[in-house]
Amino acid sequence: MSPENFRVSVIIPCYNHGKYLDSAVNSALAQTCQDLEVIIVDDGSTEPDTVALLRHYHKPRTTVVRIPNQGPAVARAVGISQAKGKYILPLDADDWIDTEYAELAANILDSRPDIGIVYCDAELVYPDSRVKWELPPYSFPDILLGNLIFSTAMYRKSDYVRAGGYNPNMFEGWEDFDLWLSLIENGLGVLKLDKTLFHYNISLGRRSSTLDLDAEQRLFTLLFRQHTKLYVQNIGFVLKTAEARKLEIAAVRQENLQIRAQLDEIRNSKWYAAVQQILKRRHLMALLRGLYSLTRMFRRRPILGLRAGAKTG
């Protein structure tokens, strides 16, 4: 292993996520592929514990770079500009990867020059549970209508540079989506590893979970402008799919109207009022029975501190 060159560079932008950072970095350093470096880009963190942690952060094969806060797209780009690895694997500071990911993905890129993006199955990590991330399988041109690949996918640094890198205008998000389309435009394919090797932490404040419809519209407009040729070449698919979705929405609305009409018909029927009266009486009787049970229970149960024989002062 040369100190100047690595097989893989793991790029970790960090903004106020110090409490998660060790898990991300340790998962990168524990890879079976040890010909690997970690570059942490402190994206202008302000949270005191994160600032203190990064001020004296020392791990093997790990570099910390500090920049003013400019968002993940710029932070990743800064990290990649200093990367010495042949392959790039972005990793957010609150996520982690399994030990085989870097090696398996790099082996694909070594042997398949036609492949430009390698990703894997993934797991969503909630505070109290974990579930498989049910992503639709990658296919083209379906990806034109929505991102199918998460940001922690591996690609060649040379392909990244040729594609123009991350678009700094995508500061609201989707910079990874934009990069995938650039790589695909350049004729590169996508391969998914059939193993769960990536763990995505569902934490509050992640951009992907906070985008509103207006932001999504702005981002799609940017994507279309950046990749007009790709969208125009596949305009038939885009329009056909949009029309199909419009028909699906219309069908759902029609079904809702029919259900509403049926409910109105039931409410206006003679027996509906009678049934409502019966239900009200049943609910009232159930409530009375519940109150009666509670009063019996409390009559039998001594009040705390006032049991028979207890001193009161």
- The CA radius of gyration of the chain, in Å to the nearest whole number, is 28
- Sorted by where each begins, the domain ranges of the chain are 6-210, 234-288
Q: Tell me the two tokens of residue 297.
A: 């229970």
Q: What is the mean pLDDT of residues 113-125?
A: 97
Verdict on whether the full-model pTM lies above 0.85: no
Is the Cβ–Cβ distance between 13 and 43 less than 8 Å? yes
**Which CA distances in Å does 255 have to 58, 219, 252, 260, 264?**
60, 32, 5, 9, 14
How does residue 217 score in pLDDT terms, banded at 50, 70 and 90? confident
- Pick the range with the lowest mean pLDDT from 5-19, 161-175, 192-206: 192-206
Q: What is the mean pLDDT of residues 251-279?
A: 65
Please indicate whether residue 50 or residue 271 has the higher confidence score (pLDDT). Answer: 50
In the chain, % of residues over pLDDT 90: 59
Token pair 């001020």 is at which residue?
Answer: 55
How does residue 301 score in pLDDT terms, banded at 50, 70 and 90? very low
Which CATH superfamily hosts domain 6-210? Spore Coat Polysaccharide Biosynthesis Protein SpsA; Chain A (3.90.550.10)
Please indicate whether residue 63 or residue 253 has the higher confidence score (pLDDT). Answer: 63
> How confident is the model at residue 313, as a pLDDT?
37
Sheet-wide strand order for 155-156: 62-67, 36-43, 6-14, 85-90, 155-156
Q: Tell me the two tokens of residue 5.
A: 């060159």
pLDDT at 310 over 50: no
